[in-house]
Structure 1
């Protein structure tokens, strides 16, 4: 009875502990709309090159997410990504590198591929700015792989911009035009105006040496977009660059107009919050240089002095931190938010306490039921133990018998495989004594067909699945053999086959069909100077399976396979398909293409066994 009471008490404590532990865990929560709006605002500020303001939005938001234990969410990763991008744009390279590397790794582990691709692009831009071409190229490759594999089409324009910029900065001008035009085309399709502006800017850089007038047109298109989007910082940079191009063309009037535009938009950028604007003093210095070339030395002296004054102010602002004012404002908002959170926590705590009391009552009720059934089960267990002993002895005998049966089956498969291998060897020896090419080809084809059957028994002998064979493993083995046998090591196989096991009756017809298709591709599906590429896919449907086969050869002369016109190989393909209650369709689609529908043979019988 003492053991019974101890068991009851332990059950109560255990169940209560589990309930309280589950209540202590925070439930899955939806990201508040206010937080989402803050992130959206920060992204807009990054687009407008107002990186300081974006950082002051993102840093508190990140802290808020950490306090609310939302660091496991994709939203937290997105906030961290944009903070790293803002740091990189604001030339805080060490912080940006640390954040973006962490986001790249975490997003890869969590399968957040858009964030992963954007982090790679941010790192590529950062390494490019630090003159590290290899690291930048590696991150571009990682971004491209994520975009292609996961269909991130909307991220492709950003990849094209970064690729064009990389080729421009590291001495590959021929590729700049291609990627810049790709960026313009795809960014327009996805309505990404800032990336369209970037594409025109890069096209302008590309055309500057040979076609300065064309370069000016591209820069003007970029400036027009930036003006409509109110990105005054980048607009001032574009106007200054256009002024420099007109100065090279000795058009002082237009050069001065664009310098004035650069000064005006630089002041607009400063008014919008971008105090650390480097374009203003450069524009004043360039204006002084224009007046100097025109011989107006008084104006040149005035604007040059103003430029140097602005440069000194800019250097002072580089070291000035506006965080005190923003931090004070944020702390007031944070106190209000903390009060709301504490209020919510108190309500949640009361709900948890009530839930715990209810759980204790439920636990006591079920414990009394468990005690009753425990007394009844203890009596039944004595009878069950004796029965279990008898069953265990019987199972051991059956297990031993099963092991012997499996061993015997493996030996049979091994012997069949060896016998078929002997036949293959005899055919190979016979082939050496035959001079007629058609006869030799016939023997070679017969040898590969026998191997297709022998490979099934070889896989069955080596595998651990009884009478079932992994179709992917078998296909790899057959493809490798045919590559070596027909000296086609330069060919490539793309296998998209899920984990699927077939019985012997199904796999042998499939192997014969695959052997005929691959052999046919090696013989007739190769184009001069182009290695063979063979794509094999398997898809499961409710009423059967579809085997898709395609090569990159010239295809069928008549467009598709008909009757027995393809010879014995075509006859075997259709015959094997009929054995599996299937059918074969063929057509030309960038090469010979087959679609074979089939059903697993004797599947019900095997399951019954």
Structure 2
């Protein structure tokens, strides 16, 4: 797809503008405006309760994301300074101020306000207020990407949850925790956090919060490639946002839906949503959305009409907005889209000049994560111009930077683990010290009681004293022997702990090394694919080109396995469901179905396969799926390919079925004329499996095999 889409860039903005609602919230836009008119009338007629009116007006304007909220916040603070200290009211006004700054994305101001809020909450000694502050401070640190600090405050908030009865506060905590997991790339836990919050808001019938959280959950499902759920949640959010009259959220939903349909290549629906979103963005001066809309409209003109000139106009309009707003990262990404459009238009020199300037800018601004794509595009331009040496050099530079970024990510993860380990060790040390102090206190108490007994015995006869003294000596000797034994046990325990730490360190180093190997293998497979691609550009033989494309597809299926391995914590097993989603999507995206409405459906149980099973089974699925996409739907307007993975008795079954004219095969034995099916047959034998073909109502192929034990 031409150009970059900025859907997921809105994640933090959507999540952070949330859930600080008082009783004035949860109404639709019309009700809020009527409430504002009523409060303004009341303010003119009475002065005795001006603070309450100011605060209610602030809530109402914050609900509409209107700058007038700031005016009434300042009036509330001024009035509080006049009428005298009221910490609880002061805290409430600062919370309103916090929400206002959140909507403006003013991070420095958010930090200062939260410092004051926490100080007041501690003075009042109110657990709910302290809990809210910890949650909000953690969220602010997430936006600043200070994950260690965020985790610290989330942990402090978690300790207070059992004391919190306010459901809204707990929902806000789950929202912020979901943002934390999403920003770290842990989307499944993030979705669970948001579903927890959603259930609370449904029980509270909080319409405004429901409108926003449906949008946020839709964004999260985008990251897991579950597009039907994305559309479902975004449409629910759009419906609620129209009910409450929040035009900013309406604009965001329209834009996200447009981006979603663009990702699905439904350009007509995408253009409809994006143009409607543009009307709201212009009305509300939402520059960050407006520029993204222009970029996506440029992508649509390329997909529908190959109108690169118009796409260039859209890109340049977006660039002007990013320049004014200072969004350097998106500015560089748009330069890449602009360069690609000039490349397709045949203006290679202009394309190269733009990409060179983007590389220089990314170096100056230290925006390293965009560089791999920039060098890949530069490699593509050099290849088209016949400068294969420069093309290969730039491609290698792209790979080097990607490697460097991966190392930084791994180093950061190791650092996080190290911080957790050190924190855990300190907690153990504190626990040990506390235990030792308790032992000492018990020993002191015991000694005190012994002294009391001794003083009482002094009044007894000399014989009694001698007898007790003798018993005391025996007890002292036994205590000494017990102390010596305890020291020996502690020494042995320490030796065992040291050996355990050494083994854990060695195991960690082995896992890092294995991940590095898988990462290198994946990069080498990508390099082979690129070399094949460069060679294919110089060939005119369609058969050889087709052979090269199929070879690239097979290599990609193997590379995906290694990519998942080095990205996961489990280095010896593959989440086959996740692998299948990426593999089939890659195959689907490689075909141009023109006006055909061809879909696929994946229904797979959760299995984890050993790498020696995952690679041959992945190539089998890749061959059968690509063969179906290529041949099964010729001459048909619609079609669906179904892929199922399930357990059948003691074996795993993979069923691939189409409702088309059938896969072009004659036999599935060794005499088959199809090289792809020969390869499938060979790999099925390799995994000790069998293949069953049925050609009624289309073609279905079922592969049964026993996976290696993980």
Fold shared, TM-score > 0.5 on shorter chain: no
Q: Structure 2 length normalisation: TM-score?
A: 0.38
In the superposition, the TM-score normalised over structure 1's length comes to 0.43
